[in-house]
Amino acid sequence: MCFSRSSQPTVNSLFTKDLLAVGYGNFGFKEQKRGMACCWSIKNPMWPERIYQSPYGVTSVDFSISSPNLLAVGYHNGTVAIYNVQSNHNTPVLDSSESPQKHLGPVWQVQWIEQDRGTTGDDRREILVSISADGRISKWVIRKGLDCHDLMHLKRTTVTSSKKGIEKEKKGEALISRQAPGMCFAFHTKDTNIYLAGTEEGLIHKCSCSYNEQYLETYRGHKGPVYKVTWNPFCPDVFLSCSADWGVMIWHQDNVKPFFTFYPTTYVVYDVAWSPKSAYIFAAANENRVEIWDLQISTLDPLIVNVANPGIKFTTVLFAKQTDCLLVGDSDGQVAVYELRNMPTPTESGRGDVINVLLGPKAN
């Protein structure tokens, strides 16, 4: 099954619930065109249920958890907008276009987060978080409008060697390079006060919502922009990342270096996603193929490989929850839905520690 639009812009982000939301945009320096966000139903792959057009490309989309009718959309011009998909109106109910706190660069990710407000974990509120090329990670709260508060100002770092060969980290001094463009983030599955942020520098920073100027930790391994970072749904200390450096890396949050690195091709890896049914299965989308890895079977070769047609680049992957389907977006503006067979159930997946059970001494 394939969802497509005749304009064929790049599919850059998607998220599924009862509907599938897809963002479209073309982000070449000389080829920026109008964008749109569409809501598709699996029952009708020929035409979307909702179309939200914009003068700017759509860079990210996400449905609200507590109010699934609300769709957040991030745009290439820095705007964050919220649409009510239950309404027939194609204008946002709220947006940041007139806000003095709007982002000044592309919003590469938006995500609704249910955050603990008390010590018991029973009192939770939902916030909308965004990350932008302007170096800011911001949270948006719906009151009379969209109220913005910056969670973090990402700063560039440089590494220099002293005479003794010891690496020292220092902040860039030039004002023009002081901000580090943010690319992606992931909130911890258990402690929603903690999150990871991937940057254009190739660094992954561990951050706290309680501090907006200081990193808790910095993870070094990638040599290019980090396009995706995501926590393992079964092992809360483990996370996965991908980069323009062709690499996919698996990390433990207590170690600043990756404990497993994959370079399966010499192509940019745009997206990775953990399976919601197994701690050992993940999917990766690079420029010329989609891969599914099962680390219990092999850490050298992917279990499944799907090669793109000539001239097409895969841009996004997503495991559909509650089903055995994988959704894949590409540069031709299409989203393909693949059925995965013989997938394990969550109870069969072995919710044990990926590091100790699977990798053993290598992780130490």
Backbone angles phi, psi at 363, to 5 degrees: -80, -15
CATH number at residue 318: 2.130.10.10
* Domain enclosing residue 179, as ranges: 2-363
How would residue 355 be classed by pLDDT, with cut points 50, 70 and 90? low
% of the chain at pLDDT higher than 70: 80
- Mind listing the pLDDT tens digit for each residue in 65-96? 899 999 999 999 999 999 999 999 999 999 99
Provide Rg for the chain, Cα atoms.
20
Backbone angles phi, psi at 266, to 5 degrees: -105, 45
Domain count for the chain, please give it: 1
What's 333's DSSP letter?
A: S
- Mind listing the pLDDT tens digit for each residue in 250-290? 999 999 999 999 998 899 999 999 999 889 999 999 989 99
- Mind listing the pLDDT tens digit for each residue in 53-63? 999 999 999 99
The CA distances from residue 27 to 58, 74, 114, 182, 187, in Å, are 9, 13, 31, 16, 27
- Mind listing the pLDDT tens digit for each residue in 129-146? 999 999 999 999 888 788
What's 309's DSSP letter?
A: P
Backbone angles phi, psi at 195, to 5 degrees: -150, 160
